[in-house]
Structure formats: structure tokens, C-alpha cells
């Protein structure tokens, strides 16, 4: 798996959990103190992000950050 595929898989996990929580991208962005544009790019695997952003997103979604890296778990 290359870096681009890795980012895309994390993004898919974030999107799946966000949709499950019935949050819009703007909701997640507001709660995680990021922009809606950044959330969209992260979900599509088009943007690098910091560990801090990963922690913020995970906290808003109510999960441990490591779960965003679990690609075998279906959300």
C-alpha cells in the first residue's frame, strides 16, 4: 500500500463514521476545529493531515484514533 492509498483508506473510515453519526462535513469540521474543505479533502485522501487533526476527528467521532487506521474493520 502506498501513501496515497493509506490516506484514502483513513478518509473512507472517517467518512463512514461521520455518516453513521449523521454529521455533515461542516458539523465534523466545526467540532474538530478544522475547515469543511479540509474534512472533504481528508475524506477523499487528497490532503495530508496532522496527528492533532486525527486525534480531534477521532474524539468528535467518539472513537480511539487507532480505529481510524483499522482497515479490516467495517464501520
Answer whether residue 62 shows pLDDT above 70. Answer: yes
**Domains in the chain, start-ordered, CATH in brackets?**
3-68 (1.10.260.40)
| Cell 461542516 sits on residue | 26
Mean pLDDT along residues 16-45: 97
Answer whether residue 57 shows pLDDT above 70. Answer: yes
Mean pLDDT along residues 11-35: 97
Answer whether residue 4 shows pLDDT above 80. Answer: yes
pLDDT band for position 72 (cuts 50, 70, 90): confident
The predicted structure's pLDDT at residue 75: 65
Amino acid at each position: 500500500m502506498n501513501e496515497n492509498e493509506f490516506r484514502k483508506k483513513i478518509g473512507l473510515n472517517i467518512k463512514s463514521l461521520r455518516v453513521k453519526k449523521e454529521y455533515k462535513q461542516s458539523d465534523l469540521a466545526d467540532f474538530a476545529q478544522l475547515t469543511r474543505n479540509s474534512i472533504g479533502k481528508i475524506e477523499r485522501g487528497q490532503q495530508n493531515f496532522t496527528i492533532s487533526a486525527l486525534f480531534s476527528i477521532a474524539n468528535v467521532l467518539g472513537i480511539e484514533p487507532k480505529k481510524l487506521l483499522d482497515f479490516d474493520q467495517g464501520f
